[in-house]
Amino acid sequence: MRTEPLHLVFSALEWGADQRPKYLQLYDHIRQAILNGQLRSGEQLPPSRVLAIQLGVSRTTVMQAYGHLESEGYLGGHTGSGTYVSEQVPGRLALSGLSLADGPLASDGPLLSERGRAAAGFQAGGWPKAQNLRPFRPGVPALWDFPFSAWFRLMGRQSRSLGFEAFGYGDAAGYMPLRRALAMYLRQSRGVRCEPEQVIIVHGTQQALALSCQLLLDPGDSAWIEDPGYNGAKEAMHLMGVRPIPVPLGREGISVEAGMKAGPEARLAYVTPSHQYPTGVVMSLGRRLELLEWAARQSAWILEDDYDSEYRYSGKPLAALQGIGREGRAVYLGTFSKVLFPALRMGYIVAPPALAEPFQRAKAFTDRGNSILEQATLAAYLEEGHLERHLRRMRLLYKERQEALIHWSEKLLGDRLRIFPSDTGLHAVGWLPEHSDDRQVAAQLMEAGVTASPLSGYTQQYRQPPGLVLGYAPYREEQIRDALERMAGVLEQLPA
């Protein structure tokens, strides 16, 4: 129960000599209040108008701060009922029972290492519960359309077959029947050149990134990252003491020429060639060959995150970059979080033959392996053709939902938001009028009950035209239409 009036949480905010924009100061103040337990999970925050009056700032300032916090998982909202502190807050343990009298968190003091302090400062993306999802949060599959009954039947069968083996320790590198099935699937579907011994099962892309940085880079090394790009890659590198170098994108993917100018000494390049996150650019064959030549010439590594490669709606996908190269300089990463469901926490690394054993040992030092039962279930799911059937169904469904997004956007928003068809992925970029502030627009949309990620939130150094990253995969057409109607009420207030 709250022991102090809510307004006192905000009365402690002093603008003072801080030269940053006020919305960033307010964002930091609320975030710290959440992390130290002053604001509890599930607690409602004041409406933006009320808080703006209390603080003597514009309503836009409050909405921008709220928007930042929601995009990072600290806040959530329900249409018509206000803004609340998320039930599961990123970067915080269960603080619901703590008060300020319990003392500061360890991360507030000097007890952590330099890496520990860096990790404590990261904005780990928080996710709302499935039933609270609202358009257009990206990165979420259509959970309601996954065939869980078939999955649980397979799991029951595997449980009976494995017996007590399912409850013991397994190979930290992964259950060998799954590694065999996955190697065959990747060879056939993505042109990946690998044997089962090269496949290491991990808990997702983030663990794959961390392991790769640990093994391939030393503290102080530099690595290319796409700009705009996946923030989780940048944070993994920071945590390992690696210097990420932003490299701009072109129509064919990451600019190797710009990368060589910005970071000629780089030891690694992290890329998403099948469906660049967040722009959706597909790396051309010529650019893939250029990147492979750079890696061979510099004795550098390529981390190929084959993001969203499974969801291509027309044409034949290009083979994985790893399968094109002959020098063994590419490490291939993948995940089942959006192919199946996020809670499975199953991903994989395909290491070059010379690195397979070091990756296996590093995985064993990190953890003792994934659930044997879930790995066995996934192996059967692959071997019996369930995955291919599921992907065929979902490609049709997601293509329909992308078409619904574009159709209703054109009808309801016209030129205020331009969305172009994409052959791949589970999200689209909606381009705003030239002089728009996409962060401010995203904050205003949050107030209207619509979630949209500002494109500028993914940039490091190279500015992009203003845009919104719009996920469409889990939303029915009526949800898409309703959200776009609410979006129209916000965008029609923008200057032409």
488, HSE (Cβ side, Cα atoms, 13 Å): 14
Query: Is the CB of residue 346 less than 8 Å from the CB of residue 149?
Result: no
Residue 78's pLDDT is 54
- In the predicted model, what is the mean pLDDT of residues 226-254? 95
Residue 132's pLDDT is 58
Q: Is the peptide bond before 5 cis (omega within 30 degrees of 0)?
A: no
Mean pLDDT estimate for the chain? 88
Beta carbons within 8 Å of 128's beta carbon, 6+ residues apart: 73, 76, 86, 137
Residue 122's pLDDT is 62
Residue 347: exposed, middle, or buried by beta-carbon count in 10 A (0-12, 13-18, 19+)? Answer: buried
- In the predicted model, what is the mean pLDDT of residues 10-14? 76
pLDDT tops 70 at residue 192:
yes
Residue with tokens 């890696």: 295
For the domain 148-387, what is the CATH code?
Answer: 3.40.640.10
* Top-confidence residue, 344 or 60: 344
Beta carbons within 8 Å of 325's beta carbon, 6+ residues apart: 292, 295, 296, 302
* Dihedral-angle region of residue 163 (phi above 0 means left; psi in -120 to 50 means alpha; beta otherwise): left
Measured CA to CA, the distance from residue 237 to residue 80 in angstroms comes to 40
Amino acid, res. 410: E
Measured CA to CA, the distance from residue 142 to residue 426 in angstroms comes to 10
pLDDT tops 80 at residue 456:
yes
Give the residue extent of every domain in the chain. Answer: 6-130, 148-387, 388-491
Residue 432's pLDDT is 97
The two structure tokens encoding residue 312: 């291509």
Q: Residue 172 gets which letter from DSSP?
A: T
Residue 93's pLDDT is 40
For residue 222, what pLDDT band results from cuts at 50, 70 and 90? very high
The two structure tokens encoding residue 434: 């030239």
E strand or H helix at 181, and its extent?
helix 176-190
Amino acid, res. 291: L
Measured CA to CA, the distance from residue 88 to residue 127 in angstroms comes to 8
Residue 76's pLDDT is 79
Superfamily the domain 388-491 falls into:
Aspartate Aminotransferase, domain 1 (3.90.1150.10)
Three-state SS at 202:
strand
What is each CA distance from 319 to 114, 180, 190, 281, in whole angstroms?
40, 20, 5, 15
Measured CA to CA, the distance from residue 252 to residue 398 in angstroms comes to 24
- In the predicted model, what is the mean pLDDT of residues 47-63? 87
pLDDT tops 60 at residue 130:
no
- In the predicted model, what is the mean pLDDT of residues 300-311? 94
Taking the CA atoms of residue 18, residue 24, residue 26 and residue 32 in that order, the dihedral angle to the nearest 10 degrees is -100
For residue 101, what pLDDT band results from cuts at 50, 70 and 90? very low
Instruction: Write down the H helix ranges in 230-313.
Output: 231-239, 256-262, 285-298
Neighbours of 46 (CB within 10 A): 18
For the domain 6-130, what is the CATH code?
Answer: 1.10.10.10
Query: Is the CB of residue 448 less than 8 Å from the CB of residue 487?
Result: yes
Instruction: Work out whether the CA dihedral 471, 200, 178, 366 comes out positive or negative.
Output: negative
* Listed residue (426, 481, 410, 348) closest to 138, CA to CA: 426
pLDDT tops 60 at residue 123:
no
Query: Is the CB of residue 393 less than 8 Å from the CB of residue 413?
Result: no
E strand or H helix at 492, and its extent?
none
Share of the chain above pLDDT 90, in %: 65
Tens of pLDDT, residues 246-289: 999 999 999 999 999 999 999 999 999 999 999 999 999 999 99
Sheet holding 453-454, edge to edge: 418-419, 427-431, 467-471, 453-454
Residue 194's pLDDT is 96
User: What is the value of pTM for the model shown?
Assistant: 0.79
Query: Is the CB of residue 425 less than 8 Å from the CB of residue 276?
Result: no
**Which pairing describes strands 418-419 and 347-350: parallel, antiparallel, or unpaired?**
unpaired
Residue 99's pLDDT is 37
Measured CA to CA, the distance from residue 302 to residue 325 in angstroms comes to 10
Measured CA to CA, the distance from residue 448 to residue 77 in angstroms comes to 10
Three-state SS at 494:
coil
Measured CA to CA, the distance from residue 285 to residue 288 in angstroms comes to 5
- Beta strands per DSSP E along 386-444: 418-419, 427-431
Tens of pLDDT, residues 382-441: 999 999 999 999 999 999 999 999 999 999 999 999 999 999 999 999 999 999 999 999
Instruction: Write down the H helix ranges in 384-476.
Output: 386-413, 438-447
Long-range contacts of 57-60 (CB under 8 A, 24+ apart): 57/22, 57/26, 60/23, 60/440, 60/443, 60/444
Query: Is the CB of residue 414 less than 8 Å from the CB of residue 424?
Result: no
